[in-house]
Amino acid sequence: MKFYMPVRVYDEDECVKAHAKDIAALGNKALIVTGKHSAFANGSFDDVAEVLNDVKIEYSVFSEVEENPSVETVFAAKDKYASAGIDLVIGIGGGSPMDAAKAIALVLKHPEADPAYLYDKEKDASSLPIVCVPTTCGTGSEVTGVSVLTRHDKKTKISMVHKVFPTLALIDGKYLKGASQTLIVNSAMDALSHLYESVINAKADDYVRMTAAAGLKTWAKIKDVLSGAREMTKEDAGILMRASALAGMSIAGSGTSLPHALSYALTYDLSLPHGRAVGYFLPAFMEAAPAGERDELLNLSGFESVEEFRSFTGSVFGEQDVPAEELKRTYELVSSNAAKMKSASFTVDEEVLKQIVFWKK
């Protein structure tokens, strides 16, 4: 067994401002990586910029990261900043800017890197230091080494092969304050899927079960916020962020499984948000999983049965119809991928995969 989670995590109010010195210790010239709008609206960019000004670190801003960032975007950033003397990358936002920041920090460290570098296990995986400031509550990217990138050449999303962990994660629930209920639901369901998939996973061990159990108990506290039974408080926002980080630590240990693998083509073809695409398959995956472990996970997260969980996802996401042709493409992509077929803790053959993919038919 191995427990490797090399990220220094601070999770507290006014976290960015409280850790100016930790940021300053990592470099002299930063590249801030964000999406197009949200970081400038929720206060996260202003907090980071203020701190960098205070500690006299120069910075440039790359704010071109789209949802489900592409390899092309990573190299657009490399082309622009390769000769700018950047020695620190700060990713602010949801999983998209944080994942992009990791790949950008990798390719800026290696001037010779081309797109194939991201998918070549033989290449050196060292990167510039990375700071992550999450503003959604789902991916846990601030504590994982994974960068999921859109591959337009393959019409889907594929993680780069290198594990590039941030050095520092600065977590503060305040950035969730203005987020829509839809964004909160989509990202919190992504976190829940990480907690389930990391444990119902061929690579799960007691360390993964430890972080997942803590994450599931934490997640259970905000279930009512997702269902709309009550408004999100400041405390809830912190809990949502914490559940997401604990879920990230769990997938850092064992990875994700079939709901994630199945989600990528749906997101590519239908522009379904990540958490929602994963959530489409999650109840059927749980139904197919061995009852003992599955029910324990469901109970820890506040559900008495698979039926209750399925009805919860139905109520938070609403009706979701996926065209039959799309499901067929997804099925073919995953059934032909031997590693993905072996990723769950139980045997998944073509019949079981069909039950998970075509659950609605």
Asked if 37 interacts with ligand NAP (CB under 6 A), we say yes
Q: Which of the residues 289 through 348 are near ligand NAP (CB under 6 A)? A: none
- Evaluate the CA torsion angle 100, 101, 106, 108 in order and state its sign: positive
Smallest gap from Cβ 317 to ligand NAP, in A, equals: 14
C-beta of 5 vs 20, nearer to Fe ion? 5
Task: Let me know: does 284 contact 307? Beta carbons within 8 Å.
Answer: no
Q: Which of 90, 148, 356, 357 binds ligand NAP (CB under 6 A)?
A: 148
With b for 16 or more beta-carbon neighbours within 10 A and e for fewer, the 309-329 pattern comes to: bbebbeebbeeeebeeeebeb
* Residue 118 near ligand NAP by CB under 6 A: no
Binding residues among 59-88 for ligand NAP as defined by CB under 6 A: 67-68
- Which tokens hold the place of 6? 């090399």
When CB distances are held under 5 to 8 angstroms depending on the partner's kind, the choice from Fe ion, ligand NAP, none that residue 201 binds is none
Which residue do the tokens 């507290």 mark?
12
User: 3-state secondary structure string, 311-329?
Assistant: HHHHHHHCCCCCCHHHHHH
The answer to whether residue 99 forms part of the interface with Fe ion (CB under 5 A) is no
Question: Shortest CA distance to 104 belongs to which of 63, 45, 50?
Answer: 63
- Residue 10 sits at φ, ψ, to 5 deg, of -115, 130
In the shown chain, the binding pattern of residues 163 to 182 toward ligand NAP, with x for contact by CB under 6 A and - for none, equals ------------xx-xx---
Nearer to ligand NAP, 16 or 179 (CB): 179
What minimum distance in Å lies between the beta carbon of 304 and ligand NAP?
A: 27
Q: Are strands 29-35 and 58-65 parallel, antiparallel or unpaired?
A: parallel
Of 73 and 141, the one with the shorter C-beta distance to Fe ion is 141
For the bound state, the minimum distance from the C-beta of residue 156 to ligand NAP, rounded and expressed in Å, comes to 11
Helix ranges (H only) for 42-126 are: 44-54, 71-81, 95-109
Q: Please select the residue that binds Fe ion; options are 47, 99, 172, 190, rule is CB under 5 A.
A: 190
Least separation in angstroms between residue 293's CB and ligand NAP is 22
Distance CA 251, CA 249 (A): 6
Query: Contact residues for Fe ion (CB under 5 A)?
Result: 190
Query: Contact residues for ligand NAP (CB under 6 A)?
Result: 35-39, 42, 67-68, 93-96, 99, 135-136, 138-141, 144, 146-148, 157, 175-176, 178-179, 183, 187, 190, 251, 274-275
